[in-house]
Amino acid sequence: MNLIAISINHRTAPVELREAVYLKEDEIRPFINLAKENQIKEGLILSTCNRTEIFGIPVNNEASHDKFQTLLLSFKRSQSINEQHFQKFVSRDAIKHLFSVATGIDSLLIGDNQVFKQVKDSFQISEKSNFSGYIMHRIFDAAIRTGKRAISETAISEGAVTVSYAAVQLTEKIFSNLSKKSALVIGAGETGEIAAKHLSEKGIGSLAVTNRTLEKAESLSQKLNAKVIPFSEFCDSIYKFDIIISATSSPEILIRKDDVNNALKRRSNNPMILMDIAVPRDIDPATKEIDYVFYHDLDSLNIIVEQNLAKRKLEIPKVEKIIEEELDNFWEWYNSLQAAPAIKDLRDFFEEIRKDEVEKNKNKFSADDQEKLDILTKRIINKILHHPTVELRKSDESSASVETSTKIGIIRDLFGIHPGNNSEKE
Amino acid sequence: MISAIHTINILLPLLYFTTLIVYFYDFLKAEKKLINIKRVFLFITLFLHLFYIVLRTIAFDHPPITNVFEIFTILAITISFSYFLVELVSDIRGTGPFIIILPFIFQLISSLFIQDLVEVKDVLRSNLLGFHVISALLGYSGFTISAVYGFLYLVLYKDIKLNKFGLIFNRLPNLEVLERLSLYSAVIGFIALTMAIVIGVIWLPIAFPHFSYTDPKLIGTFLVWILYAAGIISKVFGNWRGKKLVMLSITGFTIAIFSTILSNFLAQSFHSFY
């Protein structure tokens, strides 16, 4: 198979180089057009903050990895990127790499679910841009199936592997139903926003945001349908919240032990969770000594993250086994797309139908006519199959393997004559 | 029939032990396929245990409630049956081994020392006594389960406070669920114990005309009842929750155990039948 892939990723290049070749969604379509102009008939472009990958099937066998690299660098024009920053794959290895990406075992955060969605989105862009042919479509199906199996059959995506998500998961170990709880996020920066989003996704009952700059808090609150509390007043209202996540860049402590003690009294000792994911810390660490207060800072949340990452690493062999199984399945299908066995299967399929029908109806004919019926039906089948047979042989000899494979694949799909299963003639 | 009873008597602790191992393995590994397997083991054990009790009742002409080792086998089945219901209703994982170890211990002691008693004291041949014992055992099963969930609450609470994110953290349900399970078990136990006390008060003057209200059994049971009543009232009408509440449940359970040992084995009480 002449599938070629190049990848520039977190292992091969630093972030500034990855940023330099990052293709935004509105850049991918023009890039696909450029690829098509350069004799790449079908493929896939995947570009995330950690990787930019190009998978493609060239029209002829002359295209190489260098051509793919040149195309990308001519499109993005980066001087600092050279040969060493690319990983190169071909044929089975290219598909294996795609499966590894889709399952998350090639990600910076092992088991990252996000990349699975990004792979799906990339395939959709390819399809919409008419850049996904018969073979790429099958590769896409196999990659999605592999990704789904990895998620459902292994624990590769289980447990929080980011601090903000670990904070939210920890709250679920204390409270049973977040929809009945209220949360306050202090700080509307990136970390605060992510934490607030996680809480919102988990169905928190009510969410409030406070930030030194009111506009930023208002902007985040609009996105997440949250309330805004003025920064100068938030300390007096912490008793109203079951969960407080603080992620500001404040150099001094924002919530003191006395504040929490008072809040706890006002809420009749109802448990409070304080997640301090700021550096330097926003909440007095001494609050952890108070009963019914669960205080956690970056260090403690990082323990959860590290443990989950270690667990995910242990799942990699299981995912690799799934990848090998799916790769074997795909390859078996791909090998079936050869002309000679396909022609034989097609002829056997028609012959079986012919025999069945003759057998069922021969009693309606006299003994002399039965022999004629046999000859006549054979002649009809031969005439029907003559042109497809000639066409398949012709394209096989011309070594345009992708085109042949596509034709054979379509025939096999249309008539249901896949190797190993009997024809579905009824 | 007697040989069947003897065979099942040997089999039961083995089955409880196997079930305990399966639950413990599930606690360690948390594999999806084990969810149903462990329940099947518990169900088979429960079914055989019920069959054993019916056989004993028929063979020896009285329900197995007339001495401490007979009571232990009933206690084993009521605790495991209560847990089986809790697991089916709440669908929680991870607490099984901490509960099932108790029926295993009770059944093991029972199987080792139980005797084939046909003759029992006349005072123990009473329908009222049967209801009294069954409600009391249901009550104590409830308190036992409540105390176990309370204990697990305290362990998880401490682990979260101290940033220990090991097996206990990963496998147990969250603190609110543990607190709720402990409370519900205590409430069910309290209702059953109340019924046992009411029936006992009706039966007592009939069975023992010269009993004393200062009997250690009566004082101990009343103390336990008062403690759980106070806990439940504090939860419903007051601000008691979390640690305080589960500590109360564990204290109630401890007093219940001491009261039973004291009144049945050590002190002179009308309740010392054994």
Contacting residues of A for B177, CB less than 8 Å apart = 176
Residue of A nearest to B168 (CA): A173
User: Most B CBs within 10 Å: which of A163, A170, A176, as the mutation test of the B interface?
Assistant: A176
CB contact A170 to B (< 8 Å): yes
**A424: its two tokens:** 């579905």
HSE-up of residue B268 (Cα within 13 Å, Cβ side):
2
Tell me, what's the pLDDT at B35? 76
CA distance B104 to B112: 12
* Maximum mean pLDDT: which of A286-300, B105-119, B222-236: A286-300
Tell me, what's the pLDDT at B269? 57
CA distance A141 to A135: 10
Tell me, what's the pLDDT at A426? 37
Higher pLDDT pick, B67 / A305: A305
Segment A94-113 mean pLDDT = 91
**What is the per-residue pLDDT across A37-59, written as a single tens digit (0 to 9) for each?**
887 888 999 998 889 999 998 87
Domains and CATH numbers, chain A: 4-153 (3.30.460.30), 163-304 (3.40.50.720), 337-415 (no CATH)
CB contact A294 to B (< 8 Å): yes
Segment B200-221 mean pLDDT = 79
pLDDT band at A353 (very low <50, low <70, confident <90, very high): very high
CA distance A182 to A185: 10
Measured in angstroms, the CA of A162 and the nearest CA of chain B are apart by: 16
Decide: helix, strand or coil at residue A21: helix
pLDDT at A393 over 80: no
pLDDT at A183 over 80: yes
Higher pLDDT pick, B123 / B47: B47
pLDDT band at A2 (very low <50, low <70, confident <90, very high): confident
**Which residue among B160, B239, B241 sits closest to A174, beta carbon to beta carbon?**
B160
pLDDT at B250 over 60: yes
**Which residue among B174, B180, B239 sits closest to A172, beta carbon to beta carbon?**
B174
CA distance A352 to A330: 28
Tell me, what's the pLDDT at A401? 64
**What is the per-residue pLDDT across B81-96, written as a single tens digit (0 to 9) for each?**
988 988 888 777 788 9
Q: Whole-structure pTM over 0.80, yes or no?
A: no
**Which residue among A176, A268, A294 sits closest to B177, beta carbon to beta carbon?**
A176
Tell me, what's the pLDDT at B156? 94
pLDDT band at A181 (very low <50, low <70, confident <90, very high): very high
Instruction: List C-alpha distances in Å: A410 to A340, A406, B196.
Output: 15, 6, 77
Contacting residues of A for B241, CB less than 8 Å apart = 269-270
Please state, for a pLDDT cut of 70, what percent of chain B lies above it.
Answer: 93
Q: Residues 249-288, chain A: which have Cβ within 8 Å of B?
A: 268-271, 288
pLDDT band at B262 (very low <50, low <70, confident <90, very high): confident
pLDDT band at A425 (very low <50, low <70, confident <90, very high): very low
In sequence order, what are the residues at sequence separation of 6 or more whose Cβ sits closer than 8 angstroms to the Cβ of residue A302? A163, A166
Contacting residues of A for B173, CB less than 8 Å apart = 176
Segment A100-113 mean pLDDT = 90
Please state, for a pLDDT cut of 90, what percent of chain A lies above it.
Answer: 38
**What is the per-residue pLDDT across A332-342, written as a single tens digit (0 to 9) for each?**
877 767 777 78
Tell me, what's the pLDDT at B88? 84
Tell me, what's the pLDDT at B17? 96
Query: Is A235 annotated as catalytic?
Result: no
Look-up: residue for tokens 């069954």? B134
Residue of B nearest to A266 (CA): B239
**What is the per-residue pLDDT across B134-169, written as a single tens digit (0 to 9) for each?**
888 889 889 999 999 999 999 999 999 998 888 899
Segment B102-123 mean pLDDT = 84
Arithmetic mean of pLDDT over chain A: 87
Higher pLDDT pick, A342 / B26: B26
Q: Count how many pairs of residues, chain A against chain B, have C-beta atoms within 8 Å.
A: 40
Classify A420 in phi/psi space as left (phi over 0), alpha (psi -120 to 50) or beta: left
User: Most A CBs within 10 Å: which of B28, B33, B149, B165, as the mutation test of the A interface?
Assistant: B165
Tell me, what's the pLDDT at B270? 56
Arithmetic mean of pLDDT over chain B: 85
pLDDT band at A371 (very low <50, low <70, confident <90, very high): confident
**Which residue among B163, B174, B243 sits closest to A173, beta carbon to beta carbon?**
B174
CB contact B93 to A (< 8 Å): no
Partner-chain contact A270 B160, CB within 8 Å: no
pLDDT at A343 over 50: yes
**What is the per-residue pLDDT across B56-79, written as a single tens digit (0 to 9) for each?**
888 887 778 777 788 889 989 999
Segment A248-257 mean pLDDT = 90
**What is the per-residue pLDDT across A287-304, written as a single tens digit (0 to 9) for each?**
999 999 999 998 888 998
Catalytic-labelled residue, pool A49, A174, A303, A310: A49
Residue of B nearest to A299 (CA): B163
Alpha-carbon Rg for chain A, nearest whole angstrom, is 30
pLDDT at A107 over 80: yes
